[in-house]
Structure formats: structure tokens, C-alpha cells
Chains A and B, each alone.
Chain A
């Protein structure tokens, strides 16, 4: 790789980085997240967001390239120069933007881009005003770009511990609402780790977390392969014991968790559980059977409304009185759930039956149509006697057992945990069963599956019914949790959120769905200021995952193979001889 080529790449990466930074500023994220302290008062989430574009520019612009199967990395001086150029471009363009805003009459830009406030400009110029602050911004970008490129130059042995250490420290800082109460309940004093005033990690705390996690990573880097080897060599019964113990440990942790973290965070966990149920259900339809369902919220809504109607609920009349809907059974929650499942599975069949022969993308649109139809019908005056119209239903009966209610967040967590466990168990058994194998055959090649004797119609219907059955549980949970349901909770955005969860985690992968739910539902629940950007981030996540990592974060092995087949075929000739990494040229010389 020649130096000039590297520089060209640096310029391109710098332009992209600048777009990213300007975007974050215009979307108001830098300013809004500036109130969240991560480490002391010297690193806020806003600072982090501002630092990431130039840092990543420097790191990514100097990525070694695969040339004819060889990884070619540039020499240290060329790499650093590229990082410097990339970072300086990020800082420079942003500075130019700030200068432009300041040059225009006051409020001219803010009339359109409402987030461009004086505070934002002050953050971007480090509070130093126009000429000095702009120069600082340029230097800031260049230095961070240099750092990003410099990280690339670190020896192979040091890089992972530092990377993991930084990531862990930031995670600890971001989870500042979870760890302090947790440690406090365990009887530990946390004031040295988390600052009670600034909420974030203290500086010594951050250093400690970094040191410990980096040290552990280094240790694992040295000893990890040996340990993994030893585990693999364990006799089966010992390994089963190990698995059993870790499962038991997990169960104990989950059991005491809500007591430790308190009611607000249990609320978040309950939300995670509800979405996890939905994600698991959609995972059956999308991940296992390969049917893209964009109207999945219909099953969520069906589950919620049926639960309300089968147990007991009230609706508000136009006069403001509470009356019972035109149809109501008075079953207990646990008696009602099987019926809810049955009816929703039947609804799944009804929705599935007419659309079976449709090709993938048409199926997606039709299901989207069904979802919207369901929502509009539910809130129409026409069905108001049953569904309560736009106000929905309230006073849904609690799922109490022997007088112990589940409406409070902490008990509710246990309820949802049980149902999630059930759904995970069912999903897992399904995946390995004859049905699951039929689904994956159908997903990979419908014609071939049919030729092999898989009745695609039957299995598609089954997928819809199973997906609906699991999805309606989340609706039932939702109805019980807050005791009132309204059509506003059942928009198409719910369908897309669940889709994002499944896609991000990895289609067809149960651990993936869990990770996806924790990231997309749990994290926003922990950081209030994130709420506003939730859907924005979901959209970006869908695009990025599909472009960069279509198999998801925790991929299902078979699914990954499907998506990567072409690439694997292309790489085949490279695998025959594994060439070593070659470092070429110093100081921008020709290779």
C-alpha cells in the first residue's frame, strides 16, 4: 500500500467522520448527553460521542488491507500521518460548520436545525469562542485521530487488554444506575467507585476497573486456550455438572436481582422481559422459518386485549363512566392464558393462511397491513363496546396467586421471568426438532425443501401459529403489568423494534435475541436521555447490522453460513495458503 493511497483513504474516512460528528451535533445528542457524567466530571457521554468520530476515523482509516490475500499494513510513520490527517479533517470540517453558524445572523440556523443552540456551540469550541475554540477543535480532532492510528501500532499482545479495558470501564460507567445500588445492597461502600454527586465513576474507580479488566484480559489471553482445552477434555458427566452449576448460578443471580436493584430498575427488567417474549416469538417466524413479519404487534395486541377480556376489565364511556366491555369472562389469569394462546395461535393461522404463497417482500408488506388494520380497528368507534376505543381498557385483573399480586415491578419480574424461561425452552426444543429442521430447510431453499417432502404450507402455518402463541404471552404480560391497555401502545413501531431486536442479536439465535433485547430495550431504560433517540438508533442499527454483520451480534451458526456462503466461496482460494501479515514500507514509500 502506498503512502498516497493511505492518505486518500484517510481523507475519505475523515469526511465520513466529519459527517458523523456534524450529524451527532445536529441531532442534539452531544449536547443532551453532556449531562451524563461517565468518569468524574471530566468525561461525559457527550464528550465521548464527540471524541468517537475522530478516534474511529484514525483507527479505521489505517486498517490493513487484504491485497491478493495478504494483509498489508503500512509503516508506523505513514499510519500516524494518516490518522492525523483523518482526525484533522473531522475537526476542521466541524470547526468550519461552527464558524458558518457563528457568521450567519443569530438564530438563522436554529430556525431550521433546532438543536444548534449556543450551548452546543460552546461545547464544540470548548467554551473558548470563535477563533481560539475553532483552532482547538481542529487540534482536538487531529490528536484523537493520531491516538486512533496509534492504537493500531500497539503490539498484538497489548491491544486486546487495552481495548477490553476501555470497553469495560465505559460499560461500568454507563451502568451507573445498576451497580451502585447493587453493591450497596450487598453491603459494600461504593463511594470510592461511583461518585454520589456526579453519578459516574470516580477517577480512581475508573482506573481500577480499567486495570482489573485489562489485567484479566491479558491473563485470559495467556491462559485462555489452555483452560478452554481443559474444559473440552472434561469427561461428559463433569462437563454436565459444570453446565448445571453455571445454570444454577444464573438462576440464583436472576432470583435475587430485583431485590438488589430496586423497583425502578426492576421495571426496566420487566420491560426487557416483555420484549424478550416478543423477540422470541418473532424469532420463530423470522429467524427459524424465514418469514419476514412486519405486523407482529398484532399478536401482542391480541394477547393483551384477550387477556383483558377473558379476565375482567373496564372501559371508559364517552360520559366518563367505567363500564364492563360488551364481552367479558371472569377467569383467573392462569386459566385465561391457555385460551389466549389458543385464540391467538388461531389468529396467527388466519393471518398466515391467505399470505402463504406470497414471496418474502410482499409477505412483509401484507403483514404490515394486517398490523395497521388491527390497530385502526381496535381504536375505532365501531368496536368501542369491546375494546374501549382510543382510551382502551383499564383495571385489568391482576395475576395474583393467593392474594399475592404481581403488579409491582419486583414480583412482576419473577412472573415474566417464568414465562421467558418457558418461551426459551420451547424455542430451543423447537429449533432442534423435526419441525425446526423443516423450517430451516424451507428458509434456505423453499423449492428444494418441498422437493424433499417438506410440506411448506403446513410448516409456514405452524410458524405463524407458534410465533403468535409466543408473542401473545408478551401481550398478556403487558396487560397484567400496567393493568391498562390502549391502542397507542400497539403501533407499527413496536413491530419494527422487535424486528430490530431479532436482527441485531442474530436471526434464529436465542442468545442473540436476549443480547438484542438487553441492548435495545434495557440500555435505553437505564439512560433516560437516550429515550428520545431510541428509534433513531434502531433504524441505524438495522442498516449497520445488515451492511456490516448480517448474521447479527451473537449469530446462529447455520444462519451465518447461509449469509456468508458467497464470501466463503470467494475466500476459498485464500485459505489454501495462509500468508503471514506483511508490513510494508516506512514513511510512505512504495511497497
Chain B
């Protein structure tokens, strides 16, 4: 992208122009702004980390940093699972499914009610593996149902509309689903029942990891591997790739495009359902608006890794999770910003803004985001 822009800037221009216009073109203001911004950010990051790491008092211990890292990886796995839903849909329809965070929320809610029943039945205590499987089953079923319904009601009628139209419906759907949950189930946050078998920590490779975090990381990794296999090995997966490449040609090849799109939404919903259970286990509560911010962050992760790419979503999620849990303290504690953790979301959103401005193709993606 930088390359092409350079060409643009240096291409010959008509001579008959006012001098200021010519001057304005010779100095690429945008690039100056971007480069200055880049330098400022780099310097700020280095300075902030240096100051934090050499703090004389209140320095964070090695164990503290290790805990930040582990939490970051777990959080990142959840983001990655949600991000895959954005990425898959974007890959095929080139639209941001803004309501995907609510798909995740609905899964968490469904599992919450089942978890409550299992808890009263004592199953949560006596057979934790079975109950977690049941929870996953319920959550994924609910999320898939919501995702498919969403596609049918809000997106399919608008498939050929101007690009911003489905985005606006997606925003509407997000709001609608949030407040549907609020009025159906109540607006207060609900404490997720504890699973006794998941309290405490496991020591893996000498690192103590909270059991919920470990399970989250493992589940996300399994899902990721499964999804890669699904996309590369199965007929449906191949059809998905074909539709992502070119809808019309795919339909000429005998692929039922509508069915593939529905499948894509269902797969995204499945992953979001898993993420919903994991999120509820880690944070211990569900609420009607729990999907909104994680949704935007997962979208950030998807863009960060390169939207449309599975590995990209995984890497983007991990990076975002790590940065979010480490960066506020690392960058800001040293320069005496009070309560740096309040600024977690600022860090995440700043990454979103910066990545979209500097490298909209993401880390793994191609540098050609303008397709379609």
C-alpha cells in the first residue's frame, strides 16, 4: 500500500496549477502526519515501558507480569473465538456483522440458565465434565440459532443493497438483541454458578494457571484447529472458500450460495457460543450488554490479524488480549498515570484506530483491503 501511494505521489501532474497547489502536492501531508504519529507512538511506548520497568517503588514483580500474560492469553483466546465469526462473515459477504457480539451474549445467557438448573440438580458438582459439555452444547445451539435468524431477517433482504445499508441494520440488530435480552431476562447482571472442579489453579510447566483460564485456552485452541480442518478438508469448507472467492462463479459451479452463507453464520455462531461459555466461566457473570464491548474488541482483533483469515483472527486475538492486559500498566504506570487499568479500553480502541489507519489489511491479511 505504501508502495502504491508513493507512485501516486510522484506521478507527473499537470503543470498549469497554482503554486500552492503544487507545493501542497509535493509535500505529502498525510504521510507526514502518519510518520510523525508513528514516531510519537514508538517513543511513547519505549519511554513508558522503560519508566515502568525501572520504577523505584511499586514496581511490578515477575510473578505479576506472568499473571498478566496468562490472563492476556486467555482473554485473547476468547477474543479470537469471537473474531473468527466476524472474519468468516466478512470473508464471504464483505460486511461487518456488528451484532456478532450479541450472538455471543445470547449463547452465554442460554448456558447460564442451564448452568443454574444443573447447579440445583447438583450435577455441576458431581460430574463437571458432562455439565461443561452440556453447557457448551446449549450455548452453541442458541448462538447458532440467533446467528442464522439474524442472517435471514436482517441481512438477506439487503444482500445487494449499498454497502452501508447492511451495516446500519447490523447496528440496529445489535441494539435490538441487547434490549430484547434486557426485557426478556432482566437488565441486572447475573452471577454465573461456580463449577467447584474449576476452582484453584493447575501448574503447567511450572506456571500456576487458574483452571478456568487453562480450559479457555485449550478450548479455543481446539476450536481453531477444528475450524481450520473444517475449512480446508470438508466439502462445505471448500464451498465456503469458493463463495468467499467469488459468489457468482461459485453459484455457477453448482454451489448453493445461500446455504453456504447460512452455514458460515452458523459456524461463526458456534464459535461465539463456545466463547460465551468461556467468558462466563472466567468472569463469572452474564449481562445483556456483555457482548457489545467484547464484540468491538473481537472485531479489532479480526482486523488486526487480517480480516478474512483464520490464523489472522487467532493471532489478532492473542495480540489484543496480551496488549490489553499488559500495556496499560506497562506504558502508563511509569509516567504516573493514576489507575492505568481504567484505560484498558482506550488501549484496545487506539489499536483499532491505528491499525485501520496504518495497515487496514492487518498483519496476516493481504494489503488490499479495498476489494469488493
Query: Are the C-beta atoms of B349 and A372 separated by less than 8 Å?
Result: yes
* Across-interface contacts of A547 in B (CB, < 8 A): 154, 157-158, 169
Of the candidates A113, A365, A538, which one forms a contact with B96 in the assembled complex, judged by CB atoms under 8 Å apart?
A365
Query: Of all chain A residues, which has the CB nearest B352?
Result: A369
The docked-state distance in angstroms from the alpha carbon of A369 to that of B346 is 8
A466 CB to closest chain B CB, in angstroms?
20
Contact B176 A536 (CB under 8 A): yes
Encoded as 1 (CB less than 8 Å from any B CB) or 0, chain A from 486 to 506 comes to 000000110010011001000
Q: B113 in the interface, Cβ–Cβ < 8 Å? A: yes
A469 to B113, CA, bound (A): 48
B53 close to A (CB within 8 Å): no
Are A366 and B169 in contact (CB-based, < 8 A)?
no
Scan B142-180; emit 1 where CB is below 8 A from any A CB, else 0.
000000000001100110111111111101111111111
B337 interface contact, C-beta 8 A: yes
> In the complex where A355-B357, A376-B343, A546-B158 touch, is A535 in contact with B349 (Cβ < 8 A)?
no
How far does the alpha carbon of A27 sit from the alpha carbon of B184 in the complex, in Å?
5
Asked if residues A370 and B183 are in contact (CB atoms below 8 Å), the reply is no
Question: With a CB–CB cut-off of 8 A, which chain B residues contact A354?
Answer: 33-34, 37, 353, 357
For B168, B186, B300, the residue with the greatest tally of chain A CB atoms inside 10 Å of its CB is: B168
Q: CA–CA, A532 to B164, complex, Å?
A: 29
Given contacts A112-B113, A359-B369, are A540 and B183 in contact (CB under 8 A)?
no
List residues of chain B with CB within 8 A of the CB of A23.
180
The answer, among B30, B160, B169, B370, for a CB contact under 8 Å with A543, is B169
Cα distance A543–B155 in the bound complex, in angstroms: 9
Contact B167 A366 (CB under 8 A): no
Question: Given the complex of chains A and B, what is the CA–CA distance between A539 and B180 in angstroms?
Answer: 10
B165 CB contacts on chain A under 8 angstroms: 546, 550, 563
Question: How many whole Å from B76's CB to the nearest CB in chain A?
Answer: 19
Chain A contacts with B in 13-34, Cβ cutoff 8 A: 23, 26-29
Q: How far is the CB of B158 from chain A (nearest CB, A)?
A: 6
Contacts between chains A and B (CB distance < 8 A), count: 168
B-contact 0/1 string along A345-361, CB 8 Å cutoff: 00000000111011111
Q: For the complex, is B104 an interface residue (Cβ under 8 Å from A)?
A: no
Task: Assess whether A294 is interfacial by the CB under 8 Å rule.
Answer: yes
Query: Are A26 and B184 in touch, CB under 8 angstroms?
Result: yes
Asked if A542 and B345 sit within 8 Å, CB to CB, the answer is no
Contact with B along A62-93 (1 / 0, CB 8 A): 00000000000000000000000000000000
Judge whether B65 is part of the interface by a CB distance below 8 angstroms: no
Q: Which of A134-142, A269-277, A377-385, A519-527 lies at the binding interface?
A: A377-385
Q: Are B339 and A380 in contact (CB under 8 A)?
A: yes
Identify the closest chain A residue to B345 (Cβ).
A376
Chain A neighbourhood of B33, CB < 8 A: 353-354
The SS class assigned to the B binding surface is helix
Whether the Cβ atoms of B353 and A369 lie closer than 8 Å is yes
Complex formed: what's the CA distance from A196 to B364 in Å? Answer: 68
Evaluate contact between A361 and B164: CB separation under 8 angstroms.
yes
Distance, CA A535 to CA B30, complexed state (A): 39
Q: Which B290-318 residues have C-beta < 8 A from chain A?
A: 292, 296, 299-300, 303
Once the chains bind, are B169 and A542 in contact (CB under 8 Å)? yes
Cβ of A278 under 8 Å from chain B:
no
Mask: chain B, 110-131; 1 = CB below 8 Å from A; 0 = not: 0001001000000000000000
Q: With both chains docked as a complex, state the minimum distance between the C-beta of A430 and any C-beta of chain B, in angstroms.
A: 21
User: Would you call B366 an interface residue if the criterion is a C-beta within 8 Å of the partner chain's C-beta atoms?
Assistant: no
A residues whose Cβ falls under 8 Å from a Cβ of B: 23, 26-29, 111-115, 290, 292, 294, 353-355, 357-362, 364-366, 368-370, 372-373, 376-377, 379-382, 492-493, 496, 499-500, 503, 532-533, 535-536, 538-543, 546-547, 550, 562-563, 566
Would you mind naming 15 contact pairs between A and B with Cβ atoms under 8 Å apart? Answer: A112-B185, A290-B164, A354-B33, A359-B369, A359-B370, A362-B360, A362-B369, A365-B352, A373-B346, A503-B168, A539-B172, A539-B175, A543-B154, A546-B166, A547-B158
| B interface residues (Cβ-Cβ under 8 A, vs A) | 30, 33-34, 37, 95-96, 113, 116, 153-154, 157-158, 160-169, 171-180, 182-186, 292, 296, 299-300, 303, 337-339, 342-343, 345-346, 349-350, 352-353, 356-357, 360, 369-370
